[in-house]
Structure 1
């Protein structure tokens, strides 16, 4: 009787041991899967942002500011259609000038008016690659939304860049048509067919903003879509 009880206890202990090993293996598999998903997400983000990065790097090269180009590439490596030499917008900040001049040329092809208010120094204390990601993706979203407006006279994008007390305010707004869809957490839901790769834009923006413990607010009012970002 005692031997039988001992054998049953030993069997239960062995089962618990095997279950613990199995649970550990499952946990390791989950961690590996999460790491792989994170790596794939970073790759998709980089592919999404590569055009804007290449534009900025090319502008550094055109201006023969090779050290700036190297620093910019290092920023990308350490973090996670080419531009014509158009300097109509000239704030002195290469990244901002490059992006705004390029996006302005894109807007002009679709009869979109760009309204600017820029009060920034030549050199911001924020990572150039992050500024590129934030501005590039937000402007891409605005251009896409405004292009859907049938009334060409309403096609405009408003951009405010204001630097005060070591903080940068980025405010971008544009009219839109249709409905804005959000999920249960209040996040915007893409209406594009390629849902896996689209939506990477705002995700990249949020990640860049979070590096500086910044704040990002998206709102709609009277058919105006507004994005306001604060970097500290």
Structure 2
């Protein structure tokens, strides 16, 4: 557990360093952008000026985004996944208030596997897409809900099967998730209506 925690901290520090580098780059380019913006305003080219402002705001939000919940492991997971999947728009609803009874390595497995599955599904079927993640951790409850659109899915009864050719070494992610949730006496609910894959985990 200590090794896993240290590895996640290292990943988080690397994400922070990369974020600070992007901030320095933006600051370096700021002077030139302001000069261009001032020129456009003097020329009363307000449409182009507004376009430049919108583009710059999007650049700042994209390049400097960093998740900071106060939980090193959770922050590292999200920051790593966001950086690795720049084509995916992560819509996050995170409320981390208290420590819960779930062990750190189990949180890594739950979040890591499910976010990876969602990203793989999106990257397989779409060029870009939204990925919604709701994570609430209090002293009394752990709730994780992940939703993403999909075009193809393979099932066998109530089971979701991997679409990868190497079925022996893949498809164990959901098994690990179910095993962990079962160990804590929680529930896993999967819904695939309207081509939206949603998995919801609740542990009390």
Q: TM-score, normalised by structure 2?
A: 0.69
Can you give the 5+ residue segments of structure 2 that lack an aligned partner in the other structure? 17-65
Q: 3-state SS of the aligned residue for 2:146?
A: strand
Distance 1:114 1:220 in 2: 20
More strand by share: 2
Q: Which residue number corresponds to residue 138 of structure 1?
A: 114
Q: Which residue number corresponds to residue 156 of structure 2?
A: 183
Match of 2:125 among 136, 149, 154: 149
| Alpha-carbon distance, 1:83 to partner | 6.0
Q: 3-state SS of the aligned residue for 2:176?
A: helix
Can you give the 5+ residue segments of structure 1 that lack an aligned partner in the other structure? 1-52, 63-81
Residues 142, 203 of structure 2: 8 Å contact kept: yes
Distance 1:100 1:196 in 2: 28
Distance 1:54 1:200 in 2: 23
Number of residue equivalences: 154
Q: TM-score, normalised by structure 1?
A: 0.61
Instruction: Give 1:37-186 correspondences, 5 Å limit.
Output: 56-60=5-9, 62=10, 85-87=14-16, 88-108=66-86, 111-121=87-97, 123-152=99-128, 155-164=129-138, 166-178=140-152, 180-184=153-157, 186=158
Describe the superposition over 1:137-191 as per-residue Cα deviations: whole angstroms up to 9, x where unpaired: 0000000000023453xx121100113561111000101112x22213x111222
Q: 3-state SS of the aligned residue for 2:15?
A: coil
Structure 1 residue ranges, 4+ long, deviating more than 6 angstroms after superposition: none
Aligned Cα root-mean-square deviation (Å): 2.1
- State the structure with more CA Rg: 1
Q: 3-state SS of the aligned residue for 2:185?
A: coil
Distance 1:208 1:199 in 2: 15
| Alpha-carbon distance, 1:192 to partner | 1.2
Q: 3-state SS of the aligned residue for 2:197?
A: strand
